[in-house]
Amino acid sequence: MGWRPFGSDGTLAAQFGKRVAPINAYILATEPLPTGLTKSLLPDNRTYIEARRSPNYIRLSTTRLLFGGQTGHMSGAPQKVCAALVKQMTSLLPDLDGVRISHFWHGVCAAPRDLLPRVGVRNGIHFALGYCFSGNAMPPFLGEIAAKHILGRSSPPSIFEESDLPYFPRLARPEQFISGLATVNGWMDTLFDVQINHTDRMVA
């Protein structure tokens, strides 16, 4: 997938491209794991995310473990990013050291300047965007609000439509800037997490 800022094609969507930054996201899947191992790693079979500036997130998909992270880093060297993700995974979950990786992929998410998703109407265009990696939960919710607006039906007031979508500074939108910010966040995590146990960083 190539890097292409949303709304960069000169269409009516360009007004939104100036208000969100595209951010790379990466995830890998392990080979099928023994049931005993998956239960020991994630006994409640829940999704976990680290409480840090550059978090990793973990969940099970049947017998495979999905591990996501390296958010915001450049997309031009997938093998390097995958290797870094594997290193983080085995650091957090040592029992996975030596486990084979069956799949690795990446996608792009849109983030508003204040990281708050939005739904509404701008210059006659209905929109719901800026999910900030909450793609499973937010799109159905905001999509329903947008659909009701389009059909002329009322919906309960929502904080996600109460404020306008702020302009995102142009110099802060390129992939290079986002990648640099992700690197700084990683350094900050290393600096402040030295004395924190890995398991204390996980939030279910």
Best CA proximity match to 201, nearest among 10, 66, 58, 75: 58
Could you give all domains of the chain from N- to C-terminal order, each with its CATH number?
21-111 (3.30.9.10), 114-166 (no CATH)
What is the pLDDT, as a whole number, of residue 201?
55
Q: pLDDT tens across 70-85, in order?
A: 887 777 778 888 998 9
- DSSP assignment string, 78-140: HHHHHHHHHHHHHHH-GGGTTPPEEEEEEEEEEEETTS--EEEEETTEEEEE--TT-TTTHHH
What is the pLDDT, as a whole number, of residue 165?
83
pTM for the whole thing?
0.73
Residues of the chain with pLDDT under 50: 1-5, 195
C-alpha separations of 158 from 35, 117, 126, 132 in Å? 42, 11, 15, 18
